[in-house]
Chain A
Amino acid sequence: MTKTLLTSMLFLAAAATSAVAQAPEPQPVLLPSLSIAGSRLDSTVTYDAARRVYRYAYTIVAAPTNQVAVTGFRVDISGRTEHVPQIDPDLQNNVRRGELRVRQFQPNTALPVGIVVPQPSRMYCGVTRNAEANFQLWEEGDGVAPGRSAGGFVLESKFPPSPRKAALSPDKRSWHTFTEQHPPGTLFDDSTSYEVVTTALAPWEPDDALLYSGGGQQPAEVNKFLRYAQPADNRLPVPAGMSTYTVVVFYGATINPATFSATLNGVDITPQFQPVPGSAQAVTIAIGPGTTKLKLSVEGTKASGGRGTDSDTLTFLPQ
């Protein structure tokens, strides 16, 4: 009999983890919609060559059809390696930073940032445990109403741009009001988050393996004078009707800026680019209804001391 029971005990471990799902779940009460679908987070980035700092500026654009205000957003600033300390005194910051006053929430792999906002005393900002830059308008009535926009939300970073995950937050105050009208213990259906998940330009820890060379030149080091975080191919299908595209170009450390040129369907657009060696830039170009060709070229110095020219043609193909 001993063996019998011990055998049974061994089976317990294998089956144990499904136990939580065994109890019948009570029927939840549906929460009111907080839809902010169609809202956008616009982003631009500039580079301060003197300080070697990128300045990311964000604007919340609330869709007219929103059912509640947009109260803020989060942008992924996770990195690949540790960055200690997380506070960089070279970066401008006008918000209270929990890292200095309470405790650091974020992992050390978050990219150090400065945060500058229009009304710091009326916002909750910082870096979250999930390594996101967090901008929240937390005073009642400060949210961005349907059909309105609000800007001036800035991240400063020494890390170059790339399209990164971002999320716009709906005002959840109506949920708090709604739930308080029900007795304690009531279960609510909150399976729909109503956050708008999108992409925005944000600091990124460069990964050589993820930068696209643009194709073309040999040797490989010449082909790295111009590289791209976006696009990842030199022939890029784009949705029909798309009118703009943001190219994120990384300039090699040994390029000669004076030799840089850019044309869009044959038209010189060189002035739109500021090719600072070793920096990156996001440039938004117009996409026509037909095929659009962006040609970039720059000369640089090879490790041998010789010179080479990297020329890339990025072709956008409306589908």
Chain B
Amino acid sequence: MTIKREYVPDSGGHPHLVSGNTTPPVADILDIAAPSGVTNASGIYTTEVKGMNIAGHLKITAESTGVVPGVTTKSQPFGLHVGFNNLVDLAPLDEPDLAGYLRLTGHNAATCAGTGCDNHRDLSHYAAPEMAGFLLDMAKEYNDTVGPAVIGVNDISLPDGGLFDIDGTWSPSHWYHRIGCGVDIDKTALNPETGADVVLDIYKLTLIVEALGGSKVPEGPVHYELPADVQDAVLGNAGWSHVVSGVTR
């Protein structure tokens, strides 16, 4: 028998509207140590599977030409989902507190109508549950200590985490945007009092982030990470995980 993997299009937050490159290498979603072999006398076949770096739904089937010689016999498919559990969508920002201090930018429909950023439209603000509070504390502290600014929150993670290939190439670009714990911040914010753009003082914003236990990762201009213990919890408890849906018959 052989185990077959088929990617379910657009799953995991990879619509790839611009590139059209909609089929990832399935081995980068799920690695099967021995995808083919012979069952034991009880009809059981055992191998090890491992979630890889791209999130998405897979349709899994098993095929055999040994049940009826010369005829391919297929199992009923079952769904298997590789990704991070528990990432929450920050869009829309409907909490009054959030809306007053933060705005989502980048790959959301309201601000991204061009061709340069719609590979992941509406799907780029999925985050660990702790992210909203972290961003709100950061923004409030900045407003209180530096000056009025509605801070632009750019890419975080895709709905199920994993590889965030902003170029639609199934290869790394947003290296840190995998587990909902890293966020890009726009260098320009909105002054809520004047409506004008203001340039953020990134040095001061970073000191605030560090006081909150976070850190700045020098990936691109402004990228912050949640505190290390939060990331450990995401990786260790809720982390890169799997959701299995459906059954086979």
Binding site for B on A (CB under 8 A): 1-9, 11-20, 22-26, 31, 96, 98, 101-103, 105, 124, 126, 128-130, 134, 136, 138, 140, 172-173, 175-176, 179-180, 182-188, 190
When the two chains form their complex, are residues A124 and B44 in contact, meaning their CB atoms are under 8 A apart?
A: no
For A12, list chain B residues within 8 Å (CB).
Answer: 49-51, 80, 242, 244
Instruction: Give the 5 A-B residue pairs with the shortest CB-CB distance, closest first.
Output: A129-B213, A188-B218, A184-B220, A23-B53, A4-B45
Q: Is B147 on the interface with A (CB-CB < 8 A)?
A: no
A134 to B145, CA, bound (A): 15
Minimal beta-carbon separation of B114 from chain A (angstroms): 15
**Contact residue range for chain B?**
35 or more
Q: Are A20 and B249 touching (Cβ within 8 A)?
A: no
CB-CB under 8 A from B240, the residues of chain A are 16-17, 19-20
A31 touches B242 (CB 8 A): no
Q: Is the CB of B43 within 8 A of A4?
A: yes
Chain B residues whose CB sits within 8 angstroms of the CB of A176 once the complex forms: 202-203, 206
Task: Flag whether B239 is at the interface (Cβ < 8 A).
Answer: yes
Contact with A along B207-249 (1 / 0, CB 8 A): 1101111000111110000010000000110011110100111
Given contacts A12-B242, A185-B174, whether A129 and B227 have CB atoms under 8 Å apart is yes
Q: Are B204 and A124 in contact (CB-based, < 8 A)?
A: yes
Across-interface contacts of A102 in B (CB, < 8 A): 137, 140-141, 144
A-B contact count (CB 8 A): 160
Q: Which of B140, B144, B240, B247 has the most CB of A within 10 A?
A: B240
Contact pick for B211, options A128, A140, A175, A182, CB 8 Å: A128
**Out of B42, B50, B207, B239, which one reaches A138, CB within 8 Å?**
B207
Nearest-Cβ distance from residue B83 to partner chain A, whole angstroms:
10
* Cβ B53 vs Cβ A101 within 8 A: no
B207 A124 Cβ-Cβ under 8 A: yes
A43-B80 Cα distance, complex, nearest whole Å: 59
Assuming the contacts A128-B212, A129-B213, asked whether A22 and B52 have C-beta atoms less than 8 A apart, the reply is yes
B65 within 8 A of A: no
Q: Is A16 a contact of B50 with CB atoms below 8 Å?
A: yes
Q: With A9-B49, A105-B213 given, can you name 14 additional A-B contacts, CB distance below 8 Å?
A: A1-B64, A7-B44, A8-B3, A9-B80, A12-B50, A17-B239, A18-B50, A19-B51, A124-B204, A124-B207, A130-B227, A138-B204, A176-B203, A179-B220
Which residues of the other chain, B, contact A2 by a CB distance below 8 angstroms? Answer: 75, 247-249
CB distance from B246 to the nearest CB of A (A): 11
Known: A1-B43, A2-B249. A187 touches B141 (CB 8 A): no
Provide the residues of chain B in CB contact with A98, threshold 8 Å: 141, 144, 211
Is residue B1 within 8 Å, beta carbon to beta carbon, of the partner chain? yes
Q: A105-B211, A128-B213 are in contact. Are A22 and B49 (CB under 8 A)?
A: no
Asked if B219 and A96 make an inter-chain contact with CB atoms under 8 angstroms apart, the answer reads no
Please determine whether A129 and B211 come into contact, CB atoms closer than 8 angstroms. yes
A126 engages B211 (CB within 8 Å): yes
Q: Give every chain B residue within 8 A of A24 (Cβ-Cβ).
A: 172
Q: How far is the CB of B183 from chain A (nearest CB, A)?
A: 14
Question: Which of the residues B1, B50, B208, B244 comes within 8 Å of A9, measured between beta carbons?
Answer: B244
Q: B163 contacts the other chain (Cβ, under 8 Å)? A: yes
**Most chain A CB neighbours (cut-off 10 Å) among B28, B64, B206:** B206
* Interface-centre pick from A5, A103, A182 (highest chain B CB count, 10 A): A5
A4 x B49 contact (CB < 8 A): no
| A9 contacts across to B, CB distance below 8 A | 49, 80, 244
Does B179 belong to the interface (CB within 8 Å)?
yes
Distance of A22 from chain B, by nearest CB (Å):
5
B194 within 8 Å of A by Cβ? no
Q: Can you name the residue of chain B whose Cβ is closest to the Cβ of A193? A: B215
7 A–B pairs (Cβ distance < 8 Å), ordered by A: A4-B43, A8-B32, A16-B239, A20-B179, A176-B206, A180-B221, A186-B220
Bound Cα distance A246, B240 (Å): 49
CB closest residue in chain A, given B176: A187
Contacts known (A18-B50, A129-B213); A4 close to B218, Cβ less than 8 A: no
